[in-house]
Structure 1
Amino acid sequence: MSLENLARTLEHSGDYRVLRRLQSHWLEGMPEGRRVRKGLFLDLETTGLDPALDEIIEIGMVPFAFTLEGRLLGVLPAFSRLREPSVPVPARVTELTGLTQEQLAGHSIAPEDVADFAADASLVIAHNAAFDRPFIEAFCPAFAQKPWACSMADVPWENAGFEGRKLGYLATQAGFFFEGHRATDDCLASLALLGYGGFPEGRTALSYLLDRARAVWVRVWATQAPFESKDALKARGYRWNDGMDGRPKAWFIDLPPEKREEEEAFLRDEIYRRDVDLTVSEIKATDRFTSRV
């Protein structure tokens, strides 16, 4: 009996769930078609969490073909490079990624090589784009002109019965495992999840993400919010900006347009507890997840 048949026998018993190793669908070339587009999934490994202080040590980019309806057609050859930082790699980063100072020694990445590889992508996606985009924009300014989306934030995973949004959790619930915490491996796992079609009406995760990417979002600023409201704002998904980048020193949140009225009511009723003029701006896909606006 083959291993796959053994796995199916275990699953059919009702007492077991079997995880299969991720098998990506590689394409020999970019498919043609009027409604076919090329996207780019990006993942970074860094020395820390602050793009103003920390450095990229690995860049993984996986191009992929998709239809405008949200069907993933397959993946294309990847870009995978290491980079030696100017400071020692923290022990916690080595524990997480397996990357050591010795492995990175002598490696470099040219920003122009990154820009050339990404040039024909119509959309860039990351799993936590709010982390990856500021790092890659600082390293390669060409990414500032690209539309962006986030496979963590832009997909209603709960609609398909998923719990949580961390990549490893999502993969396990989708029935596969992969070698995590290396950039290209994380890209391939994320793309497999975007191809998942177990949503209502047979929709894919990618179709939801594309809907979000096409919408003009709004950024709502909770300027001069009472200090004691910080926990409530943070729990609701607001992020803090310290004002050092020229933007307001305040909590803010990015939302799809249909959530604007509800959010304004929340701020007036629960945070300020009075009628106030709120600062709200439009955020297009080219400006989402960036610290420039």
Structure 2
Amino acid sequence: MAFRWLGKSDDGRTVTLQRLEGCPIATPAYATDTWMQNNADLVRIGIVLDVETTGLNQSEDKIIEIGMRQFFFNRNTGEVLKLGAAYSSFQDPSVAISAEISELTGITDEMVAGKNIDWAEVNKLLEQASLIIAHNARFDRPFIDRKSSISKEKIWGCSVKQVNWNGQGFTSSKLELLNVYHGFFTDSHRAINDVDALLYLISLPGKNNQPYLAELLHNARRPMAHVIASSAPFESKEFLKGRGYSWDNVNRFWAKIIFKDELSSEMVWLEESVYCGPFGGIVRDIALADSFKS
């Protein structure tokens, strides 16, 4: 797969990067207010969301900043038709922000002191959305689900797991690197900056000249399954790790979440490479609204 670097010069000797200001999406010419009213069956509302937190523990750490941007999209083509409302706020976590988190995000105790997220406003935006998108939704969603009952009932999409960046010609799915590969940069690890960067990124055309959002939408509609390779032989751990399985240290098993339509081939691989016989684990269906939950 040829590596793509959209900011590279024709001679390949230099790369030009531009600072992203806001979210300068090029919406299609047909997406007038009249067209959107006459084609309401094709128009859906999405939310791109990002949180900054005091740490990685989704049960104990706290949100210190949230960023959200609403957008309207064509459910058939994945084109972004129009930008909607945005919301951003700090949150005082009532604990000291570590030096490591301040270094990563630029957020200090002084910046969040006395600040509070308006969860009524957050829920108002979430309620209107048919899809909530985050870059690594498995991280962001549990933090939001703890605070919002609306979030728990919504379908979430993940621009890490539901866009095949490698297949699109990129060697990393990290947002900062994808931004650079597409010729722009922003002040990363600040919620609204990452939101605008992600929404702009997924609005861009991929190798097939369709927006990356189209691939994400397709995959967000595909049911998923949780494959638990319980009682797997110890000597198979490297095979499982190489296949993308993760070790659950509490329940003591290897597990992986896959698209349900890939289950048959996964079972064949497990029986041939791990169990050397009938599959001895468990498969659990995941409802669309439960994707990326804790």
Q: How far apart, CA to CA, are the structure 1 residues paired with 2:53 and 2:195?
A: 15
Residues paired across the two proteins, number = 277
1:219 aligns with 2:218: no
Aligned to 2:67: 60
What TM-score, normalized by structure 2, do the two folds share? 0.86
- More deviation in 161-170 or 267-276? 267-276
Report how far residue 271 of structure 1 moved. Answer: 2.3
Unpaired runs of 5+ residues, structure 1, are: 1-7
RMSD between aligned residues: 2.3
Question: Is this contact kept in 2: 1:196–1:205, CA < 8 A?
Answer: yes
Structure-to-structure mapping, 1:93-172, within 5 angstroms: 93-172=101-180
Q: 1 or 2 for the larger relative contact order (CA 8 Å, sep ≥6)?
A: 2
Corresponding residue for residue 45 of structure 1: 52
Measure, in 2, the Cα distance between the counterparts of 1:269 and 1:218.
Answer: 20
- Say whether residues 1:254 and 2:262 are aligned partners: no
Q: Percent identity?
A: 38
Rounded to whole Å, the distance in 2 between the matches of 1:168 and 1:235 is 25
Aligned partners of 2:136 and 2:159 also within 8 Å: yes
Deviates more, 1:265-274 or 1:202-211: 265-274
1:141 to partner: Cα distance: 2.2
Deviation at 1:227, TM superposition (A): 4.1
CA distance in 2, matches of 1:86, 1:267: 47
1:182 paired residue among 190, 198, 208: 190
1:80 and 1:273, CA in 2 relative to 1: closer, same or farther beyond 3 A? same
Question: 2:78 aligns to what SS in structure 1?
Answer: coil
> Counterparts of 1:239 and 1:111 in 2: how far apart (Å)?
33
Gaps of 5+ in 2: 1-6
Partner-residue secondary structure (3-state), 1:73:
strand
Measured in 1, the distance between the counterparts of 2:228 and 2:269 equals 12
- 1:237 has 2:244 as partner: yes
- For residues 183-231 of structure 1, what are the alpha-carbon distances to aligned partners after superposition, in whole Å with 9 as ceiling and x for unaligned? 111111111111121322x222111101111111121111222345444
Contact 2:239–2:273 under 8 Å retained in 1 = no
Correspondence for 2:91 among 83, 93, 96: 83
Q: The residue matched to 2:9 in structure 1 has which SS?
A: helix
Aligned to 2:24: 25
Moved beyond 6 Å, runs of 4+:
none
Displacement of 1:14 after TM fit?
4.4
Query: Is the Cα–Cα contact under 8 Å of residues 129 and 289 in structure 1 kept in the other structure?
Result: yes
